[in-house]
Amino acid sequence: MSARWVKLPNGNIIDANRIAYVSKPDSYPSMDGDGNDRVEYAVTFGSGFTRDTWMTVTGSKEEIAALIRQLVGAAG
């Protein structure tokens, strides 16, 4: 199976075919650099079922939604 590369909001790139676990997206209150309130979103995914292979990615609602669509193959 060929690699299906996905770019994360932080700029890193992963092979989506290696993902074995994707969590439900979560939101939490945050503050930007200017002190303004905002909502951040996060999703945890991993290339295995042991916790040492899991990664949590944070970003805007749009960034996390696009990432999940790419991970599950909904985006062409």
For 20-67, the pLDDT digits (tens) are: 888 899 999 988 889 899 999 999 988 877 777 888 999 889 999 998
The number of domains in the chain is 1
Task: Write down the pLDDT at residue 76.
Answer: 45
Range of the domain at 67: 5-72
Task: Write down the pLDDT at residue 70.
Answer: 86
Identity of the residue numbered 74: A
d(C-alpha 48, C-alpha 64), whole Å? 20
CA 58 → CA 29, 46, 73, distances in Å?
12, 14, 20
d(C-alpha 43, C-alpha 10), whole Å? 13
Longest CA–CA span in the chain (Å) reads 46
CA 70 → CA 22, 29, 76, distances in Å?
12, 25, 8
